[in-house]
Structure 1
């Protein structure tokens, strides 16, 4: 399993590179996979690369989930309903494309 870290683009020092900040660290990431990236954009960083653009709201969700995992690893009891609200809200629901298939078989 890999975990993307939400980071915000602060500057673009050269073509295909972005200085990004997130979770208390600064990294110079390869952004060639993303096409047009601008200062202020949010990305998921993994292994020295920005692999996906995300919204600021999604960055907050991912940060909450990472905070919860870190707390659990340190013996804490995180609020799972808050940390994984997007998953909790979808519990028991099929993705739309599978729901359509199920409805088509009735």
Structure 2
């Protein structure tokens, strides 16, 4: 399984950008999202920017990743990491057959 990591573009040259996120710097291919200005948040999977993110979207993903790390460290109360889901839980979709 691959996780998308929010990264901020710190240098850009065409479809290649130097990005930084979660304490890591990486050269990222921007071919799927086109050239982006410095400061833009992108969702990076295997050194490829898959999606342009708003700062709010990047923050929500960062908190969720922090929550995963906390869970792996044995933390039991994870509500602070997923307050957006707690405030508005996903709806169940009822599928009727026949």
The structure having more radius of gyration, on CA atoms, is 1
Q: CA deviation at 1:89?
A: 3.2
Structure 2 segments unaligned to the other structure (5+ residues)? 94-98
Structure 1 segments unaligned to the other structure (5+ residues)? 99-106
TM-score (norm 2): 0.83
Per-residue CA deviation, residues 29-81 of structure 1 (Å, 9 max, x unaligned), is: 0011002311010001110111100011111111110001001111122432x
| Residues paired across the two proteins, number | 94
**What RMSD in Å do the two structures reach over aligned CA positions?**
2.0
Would you tell me which structure has more helix in proportion to its own residues? 1
TM-score (norm 1): 0.77
